[in-house]
Every structure is written in C-alpha cells, then in structure tokens.
Amino acid sequence: MDKPFGLLAELTYRCPLSCAYCSNPLNLSDYTDELSTEQWQRVLAEAQELGVLQCHLSGGEPLLRRDLARIVATAGELGMYTNLVTSAIGLSRRRAEELRAAGLDHVQVSIQADEPALSDRIACTPSFERKIEAARTVKEMGWPLTVNVVLHRQNIDRVAAILQLAEELGAGRVELANTQYYGWGLRNRGALLPSRAQLDRAEAVVRAARERLAGRMDVLYVLPDYYSRYPKPCMGGWAARQLTVTPNGDALPCPAAQALPLPRASVREDSLSRIWAESPLFQSFRGTDWMPDPCRGCDRREIDFGGCRCQAFQLTGDAARTDPVCHLSPDHGIVADAVRAANDEQRSTDLLLVPRPHRAR
C-alpha cells in the first residue's frame, strides 16, 4: 500500500482528565498553538486527495474544540467515515445533537474502570457518572458505541465487571488495550505494568466473554508488548497505512513519533501529499532497507517491521535499534528487567501514579 487510509486528527492536547497512562507528549506547552478551523479543513481535503477514508478525531479531548461540528461536517462532505475518540466529558445532549446533525458516524468513549471510586482515582477527576450518562446518550442518538478501556496493573483485575458494564451500556465493541508505554505511560510504567498472573486471569475472562457475547459485542484484547516474544507491527509498517496530525500541525507516521530526533514535517509548511511521499521523517523507517541486524536477516522483517521505532528510541536512545520487546534484540534485557520487577511478589498493585497535568482550557 502506497497511500494511507486512516488519519488520526489530534485536534487538541487539552483534556479535563489527568490519566497517568496518557501517551500524549510530556511537553504539552509545545502544542498550545493549535490549527485553526480553516487549517484543519484544508488538512482534511488534502487527506482525502491522498486516499484517506477514515478520520479519527482525537486529542486530548476533542470536545474542547468549539469548532468540532464544523470539522466533522467537512470530513463527512469529503466522504470520510468519522469516529470521535472521547472521554465523553462535555458530551451533553445539545452537543450530541449538534454532532449528529454534522454527520458524525461513530463514537468511542473511554472508561477507566467499572465503578466510580476507582475510575475517578485513575482519571484524577470526578468523571465516572458523566461518562456513563454520555455513553447512554450516544446510544439514544443512534450511534454505534465503542467502549475503550486502557488496562494496567490497577484495573486489569476488574475486567469481568468492565465487560459487564460495556454490555449494559449496549456497546457494539469493547477495546481492552493494555497500556502502551509512551509519554506519561512510560514515566509511570512501574505502577502500571501488570504481572503475568494478572494477565493470565484477564485473558481467561476475555476468552469466556468472547464466546458468550459472539454476535452481540466484539471484544478486542491487546496484550502489553512487554510480554510478547515478538513486537507488534508498527502501524502496519512505518508510514505505510496511517498518519497523524497533531494539534500544532506536525504530521507524523504514528502518534508517538514526536519524541524521535528526526526532521520535523508540518502541514503549516507543506502539503500532506509531499510530506507523505518525500519528507525525511516519513521516509526514515519505511520498508526494510534501514534495518540493522538481527532484523535485516530475520524472516519476520516484513511481518513486524522491526517493531516500534518510538519504543526502541524511548528504551535505548536509538530509533534504529531492534525493538527491545523482541526476544532476539540485543537490548531485550531492558524489557526483561521491567517484567521481572512487575512480577516481584512484594510489589503492590496500588502504587503511586504521577498524573498527567491538567490542560482543560
């Protein structure tokens, strides 16, 4: 594939929550100069010309953008399927009706846990009841509902109750995605990485739920990379299928790539088509020619593409290294040490988290 089919439009990094697993950048102050409505409309038009069919509207909290309905309407007029990825804080009935009239196709609501006290503690904000109310509004408005739950050491033992809540809300799909360790998630890894026993228990619950809910609710369960022998493919390959545009206009091959020491590409300065086809950032790890050993001679090089470039950089300081998740990586000991620490029988499941700073305005 030489054209992207998905655009992640990160409209703002402002958010009413302070989740300690957030993968957004640590340096949030660098993203306060947000693209205007007109600039986003131009980006969407260029994305459509490039071949994009799906537009995921995310953040931070995209509902903090007062022009969200205009952006949704533009994407719809261009023939894109629109998906709102939201904490649901601020999704009032009036706002929902506005977005429905604009043509929004799908809503994905994040939930931190199945009961108020734990959910509010993880989000560092009283928010559970508002999320549940908003999820019910989504169903009443006739949208397909996906419930997204980031799993970690402090909520993974609640998977059965979380699935029950998603079922009660009428979700057509639930995504149980273990934390990806970027940004604040990496900073809080010691308090977030679950033990092998926790993962085994959760997997058994998910397997039973899939059988019981078959045909009624899709259940997606994503294991943490750290417990895999091989890394997951990085977005289907670096700059192969999807791209991200951040609030300040930076274009990225994946949401975490802003941390890499690579030349910047911005939609303020160039078109998406030129960025996709020609920018050094998008060319850096495309294909397999860049790979070092052991990836270069590995039979899996066109399956997992050497793993995640952002994870390799954050763990080793070199984005071109083999992802340390891979058991063949010379740096695998970094991951093995983290896993051993997570399985220390003396380690509490209720460790201190450093919350992401509030930036709700």
DSSP characters for 253-311?
Answer: SSTTGGGS-S---BTTTS-HHHHHHH-HHHHTTSSSTTPPTTTTT-TTTTTTTTS-HHH
Q: How far apart are CA 306 and CA 337, in angstroms?
A: 21
Per DSSP (E only), the strands in the chain are: 6-10, 54-58, 81-86, 106-110, 145-151, 173-178, 218-222, 242-245, 251-252
Nearest 10 degrees: Cα torsion 318, 324, 329, 332: 120
Q: Are 328 and 133 in contact (CB under 8 A)?
A: no
Q: Binding site annotation covers 254?
A: no
For residue 60, report the phi and psi dihedrals to the nearest 5 degrees. Answer: 40, -155
For residue 33, report the phi and psi dihedrals to the nearest 5 degrees. Answer: -85, 85
Q: Binding site annotation covers 22?
A: yes
Q: Which of 48, 102, 35 is nearest to 72 (CA)?
A: 102
Q: How far apart are CA 105 and CA 118, in angstroms?
A: 31
Please report how many Cα atoms fall inside a 13 Å half-sphere around the Cα of residue 270, on the Cβ side: 14
Q: How far apart are CA 78 and CA 80, in angstroms?
A: 6
Q: Binding site annotation covers 308?
A: no
40-43: Cβ within 8 A, 24+ apart = 40/9, 40/11, 40/67, 40/71, 40/74, 41/70, 41/71, 41/74, 42/267, 43/9, 43/245, 43/249, 43/267, 43/272
In the chain, DSSP finds a helix count (H) and a strand count (E) of 13, 9
Give the tokens for residue 340.
Answer: 């051993």
Q: Which residues are annotated as a binding site for [4Fe-4S] cluster?
A: 15, 19, 22
Q: Which residues are annotated as a binding site?
A: 15, 19, 22
